[in-house]
Amino acid sequence: MIYLAQTFWLPLALTLVGGIAWGLFSPSRPPTRGTVRLVDVLAIAIVAAGVASVLKWLPGRPGLWLDTALLFVLAYGAGCVLGGLLRKTEARDEPVAAIATPAPAVEPMAVLEAAAKTLTGAAAAADAMAQGTKPQGLAEARDGGADDLKLIVGVGPQNEARLHALGIWHFDQIAAWTEKEALWVGGYLAFPGRIEREDWIGQAKAIASGLSAGVPDRPRGGRSDQA
């Protein structure tokens, strides 16, 4: 769970923010009997999923999916609770005249669609990591220092830092990746398929060849993202 949280920290943060927005701005309605029952069922399902995750009842890829989904559900739920608490705090501090002003409505489907999109992307990344193989890294850069991995189109400062965290410091390391290793790293970076689309391996081979010939150059065609 800790490793997944570190891997998907940005989608989890966005999910948390979405939950806070829902708790702050969703229309207030008295709970119906059906809503209460649904909440009870969801609570039981989340508790059961948590027990299954802790006890490792689901091995392999299904267990990874369960852990990832549970993380996002907990992040969204925590955001909703925090948003509700902030909403109550603001209501106590507002003047009586301001309480009558209706809060801006948030479209429920928009929030749910955004959460579903985030969860789908996280599940795809987790699936890529489950199918792939983690590449062998180095404890530190070689004597000459780390290569400027940002020369690869698609590698920005953030991705370079995350590659360093894996022990990937040099172009020849990326050039030697297998298909499964590229698949795993794409999931780790939360961009499954991106390495293949932008041909990081081919770019790394070209740059490494240029460096060995004493002519470092950036590959042409494509764009460099900030991530």
* CA end-to-end distance (rounded Å), the chain: 24
User: What backbone phi and psi angles, to 5 degrees, belong to 220?
Assistant: -100, 155
pLDDT, residue 180, reads: 94
Q: What is the tens place of the pLDDT at every residue in 58-90?
A: 666 676 767 777 767 777 777 777 766 776 775
Residues 207 and 138: beta-carbon distance below 8 Å? no
For residues 218 and 201, give the distance between their C-alpha atoms in angstroms, rounded to a whole number.
14
* Angle between helix 108-131 and helix 60-93 axes, rounded to 10 deg: 150
pLDDT band, very low/low/confident/very high, at 101 (cuts 50, 70, 90): low
pLDDT, residue 126, reads: 80
Q: What is the tens place of the pLDDT at every residue in 131-152?
A: 889 999 999 999 879 999 999 9
Residue for token digits 């590698």?
155
pLDDT, residue 133, reads: 92
For residues 203 and 175, give the distance between their C-alpha atoms in angstroms, rounded to a whole number.
8
For residues 26 and 111, give the distance between their C-alpha atoms in angstroms, rounded to a whole number.
10
Q: Please give the share of the chain, as a percent, with pLDDT higher than 90.
A: 29
Residues 151 and 216: beta-carbon distance below 8 Å? yes
pLDDT, residue 23, reads: 66
Judged by average pLDDT, the poorest of 37-41, 50-54, 77-81, 222-226 is 222-226
**Number of residues that make up the chain:** 227
Q: Which residue has the higher pLDDT, 106 or 209?
A: 209
Nearest to 199 by CA among 175, 225, 170: 175
Residues whose CB falls within 8 Å of the CB of residue 161, separated by 6 or more in sequence, listed in order? none
Q: Which residue has the higher pLDDT, 77 or 166?
A: 166
Q: What is the tens place of the pLDDT at every residue in 171-206?
A: 999 999 999 999 999 989 888 889 999 999 999 999
